[in-house]
């Protein structure tokens, strides 16, 4: 097992390198110059008019005058010590900015993933054991509708109808906490935070909920058709035992592995949800970086997101062997 | 239409029913899916004939004894904005057949900004007084073309790479598999956003960006199918007959591996439409004068507190379209599954 994990971690490196090469090529071969650069030069010199020499100087400072291959080599060399360079926009180290923004996104995603699993698995299992009954039809249809519902539209409508305006005023319009939050005690702060995050978490949850419980239902149906379930029933076991002990344990295996795919999907979705709810997380950082062509930040986000995905895939493979003793990676030859 | 020779060949191979006839029969059983298919057909109709459904110009008119067809060809001597005046003139000078909705998608009217739905503007107007219904009808073009072209691009890439990997294996499979792995690990939406933001804004760049990021799913599917098919006897027979690899891949194996790709493509269209509308919503979509559902929704951002019609209708259009494609995809998946055959 240990050698397997080590091998997988080593195999990640070429993949990561490939991802960084593609991203690097895309952003450096695209026409035009980064507007963030102009803004930065203006800001640091405290003047609105800047000369082309000053721009050239700035390009030199950020190695933008060198050939793309040399730039890439410089980038990789710094990456070894986890240095993603400095943002064009504010000259802050990229790794610091990401370290500040990633936890914010995570406070949204972890509860969302947790909630998704908490609701999706029972719903899917129940739907499968009651296949073709009225309740199953209702649940399946509802999930189908949720699955097709664009989350940015839902978020936008929530803002319209329950966040002030002419309709209901139940939730705050934007941000992570109230302006008065520093004066609150920790309990008030906690509830203030929850109050702000309910809607964004809801938006993340319903979308992945639909996908996951449909998956859970399909997996459960598959297992319920197996011979060993029929055997268990023939033995005269109670239906509850058949479902929970014999069927569910086997059906849950593929569901566990989806967690890996959920993470990058949530990161992608965060671009739009964080934008709508004005939450300063990774998604918003990415959006701003793309708008300002802040190359080091774009590179940093892509690399971190890809690493997270790779780790997610590895984790789910390991989880796979934990929940299913038939799968063992130790003796596998490949 | 397939040429006659191929038709005959197919008839001799499968004497009773073709595979696709069986699939279609299974598909037809699901009423909701058929409804979705009809809805998609209507969308196609609307997209193709948008100019005949909503325009500030008449479809056909006779003015001062001359016949014009402004819906197809702009009339040189009459400027676009003059059509409003023309409405009055034409009663005395000739006749005209107007479109059912008498507003063009780009026809602004500053006297009628942000009007709620009424009998004059069935779905209200936007912040420059443009008719929302007209913009939505024309916006269906963007969704439809982006959906089909983007998915067309990635299905093509996916099929080619997937079949090469599945057929040749060894180092071809190894390198293509690594390539698939790399592309899968990209945060897809962020990559699309980066591409769109760096390239000059145009609908083609959106299609290409979605197209070149979406293929790994299809490639993996095709690769898996090829792994299964490759060992079948008919492939061995084809090789024994001395057929070339290209012929075996595309004429012999691919037709047997295409059904799951079609399912994935149907879901893919829904995904591409969603991606396009998300991009337009973020302001990175189709450039300004062209109406798109996502940008219509985005235009409601500043008036979010009262302009419910700007929020509701474009979103509903995106939602129903995505639902229709997902329903069709779901039904197709069930229809090609032999275990569910009745």
Pick A268's closest partner by Cβ from B178, B190, B277. Answer: B190
Number of H helices, E strands in chain B: 14, 3
In this prediction, residue B156 carries a pLDDT of 92
Cβ-defined contact of A305 to B315 (cutoff 8 Å): no
Contact A160 B311 (CB under 8 A): yes
**Tens digit of each residue's pLDDT (9 = 90 or more) over B147-181:** 899 999 989 999 999 888 888 878 888 888 888 88
Q: Do B187 and A150 touch (CB under 8 A)?
A: no
Structure-token match 């004005």, residue found = A278
HSE, CB side, 13 Å, CA atoms: give it for residue B261.
Answer: 28
Q: What pLDDT was estimated at residue B321?
A: 92
The whole-number pLDDT of residue B42 equals 93
Rounded to a whole number of angstroms, the distance from the CA of B173 to the nearest CA of chain A is 14
Alpha-carbon distance of A299 to A297, in angstroms, equals 5
B212 at A interface, C-beta within 8 A: no
Percent of chain A with pLDDT over 70: 78
Quote the pLDDT of residue B41.
93
Q: What is the mean pLDDT of residues A139-147?
A: 84
Q: Are A152 and B327 in contact (CB under 8 A)?
A: no
pLDDT of residue A334: 40
The reply to whether residue A156 touches residue B300, judged by beta carbons under 8 angstroms, is: yes
Least CB–CB distance from B190: residue in A30, A147, A271: A271
Nearest to B185 among A165, A287, A310 (CB): A310
Nearest CB among B189, B191, B326 relative to A147 is that of B326
What is the pTM assigned to this prediction? 0.83
Contacts of A269 in chain B (CB under 8 A): 189
B62: tokens are 């006779």
Cα separation, A153 vs A276, whole angstroms: 10
The DSSP secondary-structure symbol of B81 reads G
State the nearest Cα–Cα gap between B180 and chain A, in angstroms: 10
Burial of A150 (0-12, 13-18, 19+ CB in 10 A): buried
- Asked if pLDDT for residue B297 goes beyond 90, the answer is no
Nearest CB to A306 within list B185, B297, B308: B185
Cβ separation B282–A271 shorter than 8 A: yes
pLDDT number for residue A332: 46
Top-confidence residue, A145 or B61: A145
The share of chain B scoring above pLDDT 90, in percent, equals 7
Closest C-alpha among A84, A289, A72 to residue B197: A289
Residue with tokens 């071809």: B172
Asked whether A119 and A213 are in contact (CB, 8 A), the reply is: yes
CA of B186, closest CA in chain A: separation in Å? 6
Selected residue with higher pLDDT from B316 and A165: B316
- Which tokens belong to B51? 């100019």
Tell me, yes or no, if B340 comes closer than 8 A to chain A by beta carbon.
no
Bridge partner residues of B101 (DSSP): B54
From B159, B276, B145, B152, select the one nearest B217 (Cα to Cα): B159
Q: Measured between CB atoms, does A165 come within 8 Å of chain B? A: yes
- Beta B58-63 vs B66-68: how paired, if at all? antiparallel
β-strand partners of A324: none
Q: Please tell me the distance in Å from A46's CA to the nearest CA on chain B.
A: 28
Query: Which candidate, A145, A307, A74, A333, places its Cα nearest to that of B322?
Result: A145
Distance in angstroms (rounded) separating the CA atoms of residues B246 and B296: 46
Phi, psi of A308 (to 5 degrees): -60, -45
Task: Identify which has the larger pLDDT, B223 or B105.
Answer: B223
Burial B313-341 (b: 16+ CB within 10 A, else e): bbbebbbebbbbbbbbbbbbbbbbeeeee
Q: What is the C-alpha separation between A84 and A64, in angstroms, rounded?
A: 15
Q: What percent of chain B has pLDDT over 70?
A: 85
Confidence label for A129 from pLDDT (cuts 50, 70 and 90)? confident
Query: What ipTM did this prediction achieve?
Result: 0.80
Q: Look at residue A60 and tell me whether its pLDDT is greater than 50.
A: yes
- Helices marked H in chain A: 2-29, 35-45, 52-61, 68-79, 94-129, 134-148, 151-162, 186-224, 227-234, 239-241, 249-276, 282-292, 295-323
Here the tokens at position B53 are: 């459904």
Nearest-angstrom CA–CA distance, B7 and B1: 9
Put simply, whether B172 touches A (Cβ < 8 Å) is no
Q: At A38, list the tokens.
A: 């102009």
Asked whether residue A312 carries a pLDDT value surpassing 70, the answer given is: yes
- For the segment B132-146, the average pLDDT, to the nearest whole number, is 86
| pLDDT at B56 exceeding the cut of 80 | no
Strands (E), chain B: 58-63, 66-68, 94-98
Instruction: Find, in chain B, the residue whose alpha carbon is nearest to that of A13.
Output: B182
More confident residue, B220 or A320: B220
Residue A299: CB atoms within 10 A of its CB come to 23
A273–chain B nearest CA distance, Å: 10
Pick the range with the lowest mean pLDDT from A27-41, A199-213, B44-58. Answer: A27-41
Which residue in B has a C-alpha nearest to residue A266's C-alpha? B187
From CA A262, how far away is CA A208, in angstroms rounded? 7
Is the CB of A149 less than 8 angstroms away from the CB of B270?
Answer: no
Of A135, A124, A146, residue with least CA distance to A255: A124
Q: What is the average pLDDT value for chain B, to the nearest integer? A: 79
Q: Domains of chain A, with CATH numbers? A: 2-80 (no CATH), 96-323 (1.10.3720.10)
* Cβ(B190)–Cβ(A268) below 8 Å: yes
Pick B128 or B276 by higher pLDDT: B276
pLDDT recorded at residue A333? 43
Q: B131 has which bridge partners?
A: B125
Q: Name the closest residue on chain B to residue A15, using Cα atoms.
A: B182
CA distance A115 to chain B (A): 23
Cβ atoms < 10 Å from Cβ of B21: 11
C-alpha span between A160 and B305 (Å, rounded): 6
pLDDT for B152 equals 92
Residue B305: closest CA among chain A residues belongs to which residue?
Answer: A165
Q: Tell me whether A269 touches chain B (CB under 8 Å).
A: yes
The whole-angstrom distance between A170's CA and the closest CA on chain B is 14
Question: Which range, of A270-274, B66-70, B190-194, averages the lowest pLDDT?
Answer: B66-70
The pLDDT of residue A153 is above 90:
no
Q: Report the pLDDT averaged over residues A311-331.
A: 71
């Amino acid at each position: 097992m240990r050698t397997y994990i080590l091998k997988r971690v080593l195999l990640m490196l070429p993949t990561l390198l490939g991802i960084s090469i593609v991203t690097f090529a895309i952003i450096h071969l695209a026409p035009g110059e980064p507007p963030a650069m102009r803004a930065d030069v203006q800001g640091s010199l405290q003047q609105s008019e800047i000369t082309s020499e000053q721009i050239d100087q700035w390009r030199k400072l950020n190695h933008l005058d060198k050939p793309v291959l040399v730039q890439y080599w410089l980038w990789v060399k710094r990456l070894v010590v986890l240095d993603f360079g400095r943002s064009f926009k504010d000259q802050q180290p990229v790794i610091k900015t990401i370290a500040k923004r990633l936890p914010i996104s995570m406070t949204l995603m972890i509860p969302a993933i947790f909630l998704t699993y908490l609701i999706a698995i029972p719903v899917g299992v129940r739907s499968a054991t009651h296949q073709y009954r009225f309740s199953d039809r209702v649940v399946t249809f509802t999930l189908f509708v949720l699955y097709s519902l664009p989350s940015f539209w839902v978020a936008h409508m929530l803002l319209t109808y329950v966040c002030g305006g002419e309709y209901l005023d139940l939730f705050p319009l934007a941000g992570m906490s109230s302006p008065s939050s520093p004066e609150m005690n920790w309990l008030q702060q906690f509830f203030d935070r929850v109050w702000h995050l309910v809607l964004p978490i809801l938006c993340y949850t319903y979308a992945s909920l639909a996908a996951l419980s449909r998956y859970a239902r399909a997996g459960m149906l598959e297992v319920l058709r197996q011979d060993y379930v029929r055997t268990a029933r023939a033995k005269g076991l109670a239906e509850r035992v058949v479902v929970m002990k014999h069927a569910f344990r086997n059906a849950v295996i593929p569901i566990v592995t989806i967690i890996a795919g959920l993470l990058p999907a949530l990161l992608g979705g965060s671009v739009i949800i964080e934008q709508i709810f004005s939450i300063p997380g990774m998604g918003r950082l990415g959006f701003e970086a793309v708008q300002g062509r802040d190359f080091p930040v774009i590179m940093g986000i892509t690399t971190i997101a890809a690493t997270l995905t790779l780790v997610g895939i590895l984790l789910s493979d390991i989880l796979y062997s934990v929940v299913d003793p038939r799968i063992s990676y130790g003796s596998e030859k490949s | 239409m397939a040429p006659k020779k191929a038709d005959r060949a197919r008839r001799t191979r499968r004497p009773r029913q073709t595979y696709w006839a069986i699939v279609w029969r299974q598909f037809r059983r699901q009423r909701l899916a058929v409804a979705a298919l009809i809805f998609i057909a209507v969308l196609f109709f609307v997209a193709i004939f948008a100019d005949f459904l909503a325009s500030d110009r008449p479809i056909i008119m006779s003015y001062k004894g001359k016949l014009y067809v402004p819906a197809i060809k702009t009339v040189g001597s009459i400027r676009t904005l003059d059509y409003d005046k023309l409405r009055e003139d034409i009663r005395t000078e000739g006749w005209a057949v107007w479109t059912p909705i008498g507003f063009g998608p780009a026809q602004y009217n500053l006297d009628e900004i942000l009007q709620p739905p009424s009998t004059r503007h069935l779905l209200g107007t936007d912040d420059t007084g443009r008719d929302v219904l007209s913009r939505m009808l024309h916006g269906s073009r963007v969704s439809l073309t982006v959906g089909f072209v983007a998915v067309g691009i990635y299905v093509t890439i996916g099929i080619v790479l997937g079949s090469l990997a599945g057929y040749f294996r060894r180092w071809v499979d190894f390198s293509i598999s690594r390539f698939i792995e790399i592309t899968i690990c990209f945060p897809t939406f962020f990559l699309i956003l980066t591409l769109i933001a760096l390239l000059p804004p145009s609908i083609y760049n959106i299609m290409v960006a979605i197209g070149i990021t979406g293929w790994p799913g299809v490639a993996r599917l095709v690769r898996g199918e090829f792994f299964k098919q490759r060992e079948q006897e008919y492939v061995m027979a084809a090789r024994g007959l001395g057929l070339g690899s290209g012929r075996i891949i595309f004429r012999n194996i691919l037709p047997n591996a295409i059904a799951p790709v079609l399912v994935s493509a149907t879901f893919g269209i829904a995904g591409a439409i969603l991606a396009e509308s998300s991009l337009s919503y973020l302001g990175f979509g189709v450039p300004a004068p062209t109406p798109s559902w996502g940008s219509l929704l985005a235009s409601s951002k500043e008036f979010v507190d009262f302009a419910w019609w700007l929020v509701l209708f474009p979103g509903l259009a995106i939602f129903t379209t995505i639902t229709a494609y997902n329903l069709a995809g779901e039904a197709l998946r069930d229809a090609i599954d032999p275990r569910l055959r009745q």
